[in-house]
Structure 1
Amino acid sequence: MSRLTDLIARTKAKDADLGRELEREFKALSSRRAFGLNFERHRPENVELPGRPIRKGDKVRILPERGSTKKGDQRLWKVRSLAGKGAERVASLSLLYTDEPEQAEAPVADLVVVAEFRDYIYPGLVSTGKVEIGGDKPYHTVINGENFHALEALTFTHRGKVDAIYIDPPYNTGARDWKYNNDYVEGEDQYRHSKWLAMMERRLLVARELLNPSKAILIVSIDEKEFLRLGLLLEQIFPEASIQMISSVINPSGAARTSAFRRTDEYIFFVFFGTGPKELPLPVEWRITRDKRAEGLRWDGLLRSGSNTQREDRPNQFYPIFAKEVDGVAVIHSIGETYEGEDRGSVAAPEGAVAIWPIRRNGTEGNWQVGAPSARRLWEKGYLRLGKWRAAETTVSYIKRGGRAKIEEGIFPIVGRASDNSVIVDDSGYNSLFVPGTQWRIPSHSAEQGGTKLLRSFLPARSFPFPKSLYAVEDALRFFVSDLPNATILDFFSGSGTTAHAVMRLNKQDGGKRQCISVTNNEVGADEQGKLRKEGFRPGDEEWEQWGICDHITKPRIRAAITGQTPEGQPINGDYKFTDEFPMADGFQENAEFFTLTYETPVAVSHNRAFERIAPLLWMRAGSVGSRIDSLPQGGWAVADCYGLLTDLDQAAPFSEAIHGKGSIRIAYIVTDDERRFQSVVRQLPETVEPVRLYESYLTNFRFSMGR
């Protein structure tokens, strides 16, 4: 509502009559009782962009003096003009969002560009390094930037193409663990829950555009601070999805809470699009979550239970099974016919045998699971047997269709026969397929062992608060991407890079070529910020940025995981455990590239002046595979491993010929403002190649106000 009232006030200032009319309608709507999750959307977020060059027309904030730990002037100014050169450059400023005009001048060195989320952005990427030991595998990518803007960039490269999203957003503990509009959200902030919801809603709305609508999964981990609100928010944003919440033990000993129970678990929301979790042959630690009888060949009771249990429900399945005792063992003598009479006592059993009828515990007549002919076939094959001898009350068991199929397929090989002719199988090596329950108590999911201590092995001299267990993330994803060897996975709250690490482990286990897109910022921790400011440093300074999450933790962790070496060049000590055990120093046969998000102008883009920063986006849209065209081709066209670029339409013929000669091409980018000539080139391309008109496609994509 705060956003609406702000818009109405601005409208009244320009058109009083229209503003009053909007205000009347707004009051009428707000007087109605609303249902569902209601929260203040607040003023749209803004983000500081340290290091971004100051341009005329930019929105900026004036930084506090170097050495000061004060918050500084939080007002926004617009750059009217720039004068001077180098360190002497000065900006002429006018104050924004004020009724009283105010002008000022400030050294450019004391300004930082601010991007408001209501503004359109035109993103680019600058490479800051790579690791290449994965051959022809696609590249995992790490993007350092504001995650809302990075998500918008991905709407150009991955709209509808993401198979799985795993995020671990800030838990909103009140312990300065996240910022809203450049200010930490404290525990006593009465709007901290609505700020958190507004922050999450904006990002989830954009993330929705990225997910494959036919089959995808969104996984969100959270603790008790926000899980109720998050559940409602997910219901509102994704009404077409199926949503389930898991409780997962991450600290078996429990974390102390003042005047409260110790916290041992956290919650994981699974938002399903299309099919749900896949049955998997899970390792032994998962077996505590299911029926032990499912771990081998299962014999089920022949007496029907559940629904349709009365004799009249299945009259053809009411018949006697004649049995006798031989050397202390109950054996079947024969199987009778369906009985339609009223007095079953009149049915005579063969000499020395008794009749076992389908009688329920309350003494009423029931029915067997199968008819008499089927029961005879089961008996002949050894799939029917009796329990301990109890005369007419002896239990009867059989093997259901699934178990019989495993026997006949050799999964449960027959190694002998019992004295009653029932089969004896070897099921000792069987690892059953199953989907676990909603309570996960898995040792490998311990945040201490699989998170903090494991991360310390990769980055011995560095710390990160509360990293997720590598194995917990790996397991959560496995249920949905085990049958998708080329899946694209996104984590836009990447933090320490656990999700990318987990995807690499999944690839090693089955030879997959899955790729992970990790988005994080280079935020410096609250305590470190105070120390650095006292030393005279600011965001954007090299001495400051080196301690940011992305540069200090995320990138080094992913590099170390691939190479098997710490940032200091030493082999990583220790072994991976659980699903796949091998030395961490072995690393992975994977590729990764690291990028920083940039902000371009539409004029620079449309005039080819920003091509080098747009180039990585074109490469990512084509799959992040193989070579990249990083500069404008001198001959008017170029073809990389998976895409081509045509900048001179007079060269359409050789370009089309090259595309036809390379079966790996997925996309052809054609730079032109002329729709007729664009279509002329398209007609020359193979039908399997997606034509994209640059820069119209790019600019149009980012003219949409997505989620703002």
Structure 2
Amino acid sequence: MTDTGLSKYGELSREQLIALLEKRDRTKKLGLVWERHEIEVDATLASEFVAADLVTPLSDPQNRSSGWPNLVIEGDNFDALRWLRMTMRGRVKCIYIDPPYNTGAKDWVYNDHYIKKEDRWRHSTWLEFLYRRLDLARDLLTSDGVLLVSINDENRARLELLLDEVMPGMRKGSLVWRTRVGGNEGGEAFLSDNHEHILVYGASDFRFGGTEKSLEMYKYTDANGEKYRISDMTVAVAYNDKRAGQAYYPLRDPTSDIYYPANPDRVWSYASRERSGASARIKTKFIEDWVADGRVAFPENPKTVRYETREALIAAVRAGEAPPFIREDLPEFDAWVGRTIGFGSPGFKRYIKDLKSATQPLSSWITPRSEKDTIGDDENAILAGTTDEGAKTIKAIFGEKAFNYAKPPSLIKGLLAQCTGPGDVILDFFAGSATTAQAVMELNAEDQGSRRFVMVSSTERTEQVPTRNIAEQVTAERIRRLNAADDKTLKPLYAPFAYLRLATMRYEDIDYDFSDAQAWTALEVLHELPTTPWRGDAWQMHEEGDEILVMVRSPSPALFEAIAAHTALRHNVFVYSWAPGGLAASWEGVDLELRSIGETLLANYRR
């Protein structure tokens, strides 16, 4: 009989099993440990299906016929992420979130529900809350996508260890943002907490855009019209260091026969073939090759000296009149006798065309706008406002303080400018006041981009405030007001959005509860199409360039003609039906793939 590994546990008593589990829970490991309810999570994922209803009256009033490219989703973000993983897996370039900071009920509406008295460590539930969501979010990123997470100093270490668990090998670093300027609070240690962190976890191909390099230093032009600059051609290695190798030697200008001494404390950057031997292997070219290629810039009209005897050379060195890198105690001192020696040092020609990147790396320090004058124009940092900007922006849009702790739009816009392109998708599943949506809108207005956003927000309804709906009253409302703004500075900001409301159902009820409208919405998002209402017809078609999506309830001659017209034009036609087998029987002569609505969506949902 094959041993499945269960026999050793099956023979244990209930008390022994409990003791074994308790021992496992006490066992230390490298990394973060918290109380996980894995059975509860697995049961939820295995029993529930999430659907989304398009709420047309709450969607942007325009673009109803052509479709809404952006989404505002109302519901628990755990449910939203499950739905998004079904419809947008691997398509999100940037996820930015500003999650609750685990500082108590003041910043976490779920606090009373999630922080349980029986938890041995009060942070366990907060960590588990985030783990479930981040585990789903990871699957949404593109191969060059990035997750950015805001967090305070108190909880940074815990969240960073959690992210290392969820996204192993993806940590890129962190950014520091100054939340406010001034303030005398310093706690017991009199240490300011005026900073927050933004943790950066990116996929394998992710990199920040960086800051455009200043090209002012490329002030020379060669005979071919190519711009270059002259840079130092030494390295910080002494002549007697074993790393110096064959990089300590007199450098000769072949056109003038002038020799230049090497700095004994900083030898040349390139080895000499003459000193190394022709068979030596090096990572780059020998200095003789660089000279032959014209890449070494020798001083123009340098001061020169020549000593015909050793005595004259020694006298010049002792009098301080010889070139500074010639000393009696250095190797090959006598070799300088009878040579024309130049003052100055050769440099290396670095061309603009050889730059590996047109930008310089992004600084991890986010500079406050109030300190802009303290940095140069080419400083490689994001400029951002403080929390005061976030509060003023909310008041300017709503006329009141409609939301607490809003991030400044300049901060999010600066981040998105660094890690997204004009056509990318941005997700915020703790959307709150929709600052991320406004940042996307502003960035698109600046570079004429077509970035799309997905904002997820819950109602945050409580027994004390049963009518609260943050998603509708704040998240979506902010975007509506920006879309309708008369202010000329805001008018270019326009982002048509569909408002979706989530619904959950048990798998066994899908055949009865999963509606045509819900399926249509999921299929449109799955095929990267703007969201449109389901009309309730026998079939519905969505045309977007060469992409044709068709959902069929019952076939008709008009449908066949429409499909045939598109296939004749070699368009990408995707036809879905609840029962594709029956549809295929009456579809002879048309070469295309028929797909099952239920099987396609369920397969994406479960994988």
Matched residue SS, 2:108: strand
- The reply to whether residue 550 of structure 1 matches residue 481 of structure 2 is no
Alignment of 1:647-662 (within 5 A): 647-648=553-554, 653-654=560-561, 656-660=563-567
CA displacement, residues 528-563 of structure 1 (integer Å, 9 cap, x when unaligned): x68xx4xxxx62xxxx23xx3222321121122333
In the TM superposition, what is the alpha-carbon distance from 1:515 to its structure 2 partner? 0.9
Stretch of structure 1 that moved more, 454-463 or 602-611: 602-611
Q: CA 1:24/1:677 → structure 2, altered by over 3 Å: closer, same or farther?
A: farther
In the other structure, the counterpart of 2:86 is 156
User: Structure 1 CA distance, aligned partners of 2:162 and 2:291?
Assistant: 53
Counterpart of 1:39, as a letter, is W
In the other structure, the counterpart of 1:234 is 163
- The reply to whether residue 644 of structure 1 matches residue 550 of structure 2 is yes
In the TM superposition, what is the alpha-carbon distance from 1:121 to its structure 2 partner? 3.2
Q: Judge conservation of contact 1:39–1:197 (CA < 8 Å) in 2.
A: yes
In the other structure, the counterpart of 2:418 is 479
Q: TM-score, normalised by structure 2?
A: 0.72
Q: CA 1:439/1:312 → structure 2, altered by over 3 Å: closer, same or farther?
A: closer
Matched residue SS, 1:177: coil
CA displacement, residues 365-422 of structure 1 (integer Å, 9 cap, x when unaligned): 9969972463476489x7866999996235425354344658xxxxxxxxxxxxxxxx
Q: Judge conservation of contact 1:310–1:365 (CA < 8 Å) in 2.
A: no
CA displacement, residues 84-110 of structure 1 (integer Å, 9 cap, x when unaligned): xxxxxxxxxxxxxxxxxxxxxxxxxxx
User: Structure 1 CA distance, aligned partners of 2:242 and 2:187?
Assistant: 59
User: Structure 2 CA distance, aligned partners of 1:375 and 1:693?
Assistant: 68
In the other structure, the counterpart of 1:698 is 601
Q: Judge conservation of contact 1:145–1:519 (CA < 8 Å) in 2.
A: yes
In the TM superposition, what is the alpha-carbon distance from 1:158 to its structure 2 partner? 0.9
The runs of 5 or more residues in structure 2 that have no matched partner are 1-8, 220-226, 273-284, 305-320, 325-342, 370-382
Q: Judge conservation of contact 1:301–1:395 (CA < 8 Å) in 2.
A: no
In the TM superposition, what is the alpha-carbon distance from 1:269 to its structure 2 partner? 1.2
Matched residue SS, 2:427: strand
The counterpart of 1:466, out of the listed 405, 425, 437, is 405
User: Structure 2 CA distance, aligned partners of 1:588 and 1:365?
Assistant: 52
Q: Judge conservation of contact 2:428–2:455 (CA < 8 Å) in 1.
A: yes
In the other structure, the counterpart of 2:360 is 434
The counterpart of 2:251, out of the listed 308, 313, 320, is 320
User: Structure 1 CA distance, aligned partners of 2:394 and 2:15?
Assistant: 58
Q: Judge conservation of contact 2:146–2:202 (CA < 8 Å) in 1.
A: yes
Q: Judge conservation of contact 2:178–2:386 (CA < 8 Å) in 1.
A: no
Stretch of structure 1 that moved more, 515-524 or 175-184: 175-184
Matched residue SS, 2:92: coil
Q: Judge conservation of contact 1:42–1:195 (CA < 8 Å) in 2.
A: no
- Give the aligned CA root-mean-square deviation in angstroms: 4.5
In the TM superposition, what is the alpha-carbon distance from 1:517 to its structure 2 partner? 0.6
The counterpart of 2:458, out of the listed 521, 526, 542, is 521
In the other structure, the counterpart of 1:49 is none
Q: Judge conservation of contact 1:123–1:599 (CA < 8 Å) in 2.
A: yes
User: Structure 2 CA distance, aligned partners of 1:562 and 1:308?
Assistant: 67
User: Structure 2 CA distance, aligned partners of 1:683 and 1:178?
Assistant: 59
In the other structure, the counterpart of 1:183 is 113
Q: CA 1:554/1:439 → structure 2, altered by over 3 Å: closer, same or farther?
A: same
In the TM superposition, what is the alpha-carbon distance from 1:123 to its structure 2 partner? 2.0
User: Structure 1 CA distance, aligned partners of 2:447 and 2:290?
Assistant: 41
In the TM superposition, what is the alpha-carbon distance from 1:209 to its structure 2 partner? 2.3
Highest RCO, 1 vs 2 (Cα 8 Å, sep ≥ 6): 2
In the other structure, the counterpart of 1:40 is 35
In the other structure, the counterpart of 2:232 is 301
Counterpart of 1:616, as a letter, is T
Q: TM-score, normalised by structure 1?
A: 0.63
In the TM superposition, what is the alpha-carbon distance from 1:595 to its structure 2 partner? 2.0
User: Structure 1 CA distance, aligned partners of 2:432 and 2:89?
Assistant: 23
Alignment of 1:348-367 (within 5 A): 355-361=259-265
Q: Judge conservation of contact 2:95–2:148 (CA < 8 Å) in 1.
A: yes
In the TM superposition, what is the alpha-carbon distance from 1:452 to its structure 2 partner? 1.9
- The reply to whether residue 248 of structure 1 matches residue 177 of structure 2 is yes
Q: Judge conservation of contact 1:611–1:631 (CA < 8 Å) in 2.
A: no
CA displacement, residues 115-161 of structure 1 (integer Å, 9 cap, x when unaligned): 97785133222312215379978611100111101111112211222
User: Structure 1 CA distance, aligned partners of 2:218 and 2:156?
Assistant: 33
Q: CA 1:44/1:129 → structure 2, altered by over 3 Å: closer, same or farther?
A: farther
Matched residue SS, 2:537: coil
The counterpart of 1:632, out of the listed 536, 539, 551, is 536
The counterpart of 1:174, out of the listed 89, 104, 108, is 104
Q: CA 1:224/1:31 → structure 2, altered by over 3 Å: closer, same or farther?
A: closer
Identity of aligned residues (%): 21
CA displacement, residues 170-225 of structure 1 (integer Å, 9 cap, x when unaligned): 1112253114476375999974311110000000111122223x321111111112
Q: Judge conservation of contact 1:659–1:685 (CA < 8 Å) in 2.
A: no
In the TM superposition, what is the alpha-carbon distance from 1:602 to its structure 2 partner? 5.0
In the other structure, the counterpart of 2:578 is 671
User: Structure 2 CA distance, aligned partners of 1:586 and 1:478?
Assistant: 21
User: Structure 2 CA distance, aligned partners of 1:401 and 1:134?
Assistant: 55
Matched residue SS, 2:391: helix
- The reply to whether residue 401 of structure 1 matches residue 317 of structure 2 is no
In the TM superposition, what is the alpha-carbon distance from 1:253 to its structure 2 partner? 2.5
Matched residue SS, 1:644: strand
- The reply to whether residue 259 of structure 1 matches residue 185 of structure 2 is no
User: How many residues are treated as equivalent by the alignment?
Assistant: 524
In the other structure, the counterpart of 1:50 is none
In the other structure, the counterpart of 1:74 is none
Q: CA 1:228/1:366 → structure 2, altered by over 3 Å: closer, same or farther?
A: same
The runs of 5 or more residues in structure 1 that have no matched partner are 1-11, 47-114, 323-332, 337-348, 350-354, 407-430, 566-570, 573-582
User: Structure 1 CA distance, aligned partners of 2:140 and 2:27?
Assistant: 34
User: Structure 2 CA distance, aligned partners of 1:135 and 1:310?
Assistant: 74
Q: CA 1:293/1:191 → structure 2, altered by over 3 Å: closer, same or farther?
A: farther
